[in-house]
Amino acid sequence: MEYKGYLVAVDRYMNLQLHSTDEYIDNCFTGSLGEVLIRCNNVLYIRECEDDSKTDMD
């Protein structure tokens, strides 16, 4: 399972808040989730999106 979204906030425990989040299972898009909070013990890795269509959030 993988989530792609814009990182809004992180705290000292590594809890993550994401905005405009999409969910992927086995590299297959399963749906848009919107605002998401991921608890620290569920984070395995974080990486920058490799998509060429990066946009700025204002």
What is the 8-class DSSP label of residue 26? T
Please indicate whether residue 56 or residue 38 has the higher confidence score (pLDDT): 38
pTM: 0.74
pLDDT score of 57: 53
| Residue carrying structure tokens 């000292």 | 12
pLDDT band at 55 (very low <50, low <70, confident <90, very high): low
pLDDT score of 49: 79
* Topology at the third CATH level for domain 2-42: SH3 type barrels. (2.30.30)
CB 41 within 8 A of CB 15: no
The neighbouring-strand residues paired with 22 are 4, 32
Angle at 55 between CA 11 and CA 37, to 5 degrees: 30
pLDDT score of 50: 78
pLDDT score of 45: 83
Distances, alpha carbon 6 to alpha carbons 9, 34, in Å:
9, 10
